[in-house]
Amino acid sequence: MRARAATWRKEGLSLGLVPTMGFLHAGHRSLIDRARAENDRVVVSIFVNPIQFGPGEDLASYPRNLERDREVCRAAGAEAVFLPSVSAMYPPEARARVTMTGLTETLCGASRPGHFQGVLTVVTKLFNIVQPDRAYFGRKDAQQLAVIDRLAQDLDMPVEVVPCPLVREPDGLALSSRNVYLEPEERRAALILSRSLALGRNLLAGGETRAEKIKLEMKALIEEEALVRLDYLEIVDASTMEPVVEIDRPILAALAALVGRARLIDNFSWPDPGD
């Protein structure tokens, strides 16, 4: 992969990278399409990164379908699919890990200790191997996007981190590879998450600025659905990921919930980023 990317760069071609854990869906396809439109060559990495999973999480059962993933990449026009092995990415003698203070202590960082160290480490390695001009990440993982953007800035990485819109099913459910875990009744129940976010957005549009008031109404709606167990629901400063009391700046309203075997996340930004 490193040699192929170096050849393209010597030819003066721009490179776009779409990092994924595979089991590609329409959200991933939108990232590849964006990369295809903005670069001469597109690399899609597929790697289920073991060090971003915690004890008891779904590393072993995480959905995989490499043949279908290759076909999605081929149809979207990606020039390369990078499929590194765990042993290649993390040889036994490897000791280094990448960490960050701030941005990673709240939301998923609080619920999944060590998760962002795993994300930061694998993304750093992918950036070093491919050396892309641009890398594409969806806003569904809003905290991850903020963390990776800060990583690139703070370590002077010559890569533009490109945020891309969150993609939903027609009924509002945010696309996720983990949606495949949902039984039909759980799939129906999971719609309460996007409905609660719509409620929060409507309250903001109506002039409500008290974060606690908005959270209480959103939580009350989610609690009406017995199959959904809320992990967290927070309204945070979009720049710092720290909770806010009064909404007087750009914010992120983010939640995570367990629906059956699936841990689902969703969010909205205010004001809308407009990308």
Rounded Cα distance, 249 and 48, in Å: 36
35 and 127: one domain? yes
| Domain termination site, one of 103, 129, 164 | 164
Q: What is the pLDDT of residue 185?
A: 98
Residue 198 lies in a domain: yes
Assess if residue 34 is contained within a domain: yes
Total residues found in the chain within this entry: 275
Number of domains the chain contains: 2
Token pair belonging to 37? 């439109």
Q: What is the CATH number of the domain that holds 201?
A: 3.30.1300.10
Please tell me what DSSP assigns to residue 139.
G
Are 245 and 150 contained in the same domain? Answer: no
The answer to whether residue 19 sits within a structural domain is: yes
Cβ-contact 45, 126 below 8 angstroms? yes
User: Do the Cβ atoms of 69 and 46 come closer than 8 Å?
Assistant: yes
Q: What is the average pLDDT across 211-222?
A: 98
253 found inside a domain: yes
Tell me what pLDDT residue 275 has: 78
Looking at 164, 186, 201, the residue that finishes a domain is 164
Q: What is the maximum span of the chain, computed from C-alpha positions, in angstroms?
A: 58
Structural domain for 84, as ranges: 2-164
| pLDDT value at residue 210 | 98
**Are 205 and 101 contained in the same domain?**
no
Q: What's this model's pTM, rounded to 2 decimal places? A: 0.97
Position 171 in a domain: no
Looking at the fold, whether 105 and 241 belong to one and the same domain comes out as: no
Q: What is the pLDDT of residues 41-71, one digit of tens each?
A: 999 999 999 999 999 999 999 999 999 999 9
Buried b (16+ CB within 10 A) or exposed e, 9-40: eeeeeebbbbbbbbbbbebbbbbbbbbbeebe
Phi, psi of 156, rounded to the nearest 5 degrees: 55, 40
> Where residue 125 sits, what CATH number does that domain have?
3.40.50.620
pLDDT value of residue 174: 98
Are 73 and 138 part of one and the same domain? yes
Give the mean model confidence (pLDDT) for residues 173-191: 98
Query: Please, are residues 240 and 104 in contact by the beta-carbon 8 Å criterion?
Result: no
Whether 169 maps to a domain, the answer reads no
232 and 266 co-located in one domain: yes
Q: Outline where DSSP puts E strands in the chain.
A: 15-20, 41-46, 80-82, 134-138, 160-164, 228-237, 251-259, 262-270
Rounded to an integer, what distance in angstroms lies between the CA atom of residue 108 and that of residue 233? 10
Task: Indicate whether 105 and 48 sit together in one domain.
Answer: yes
Q: Which residues are catalytic?
A: 28
256 shares a domain with 131: no
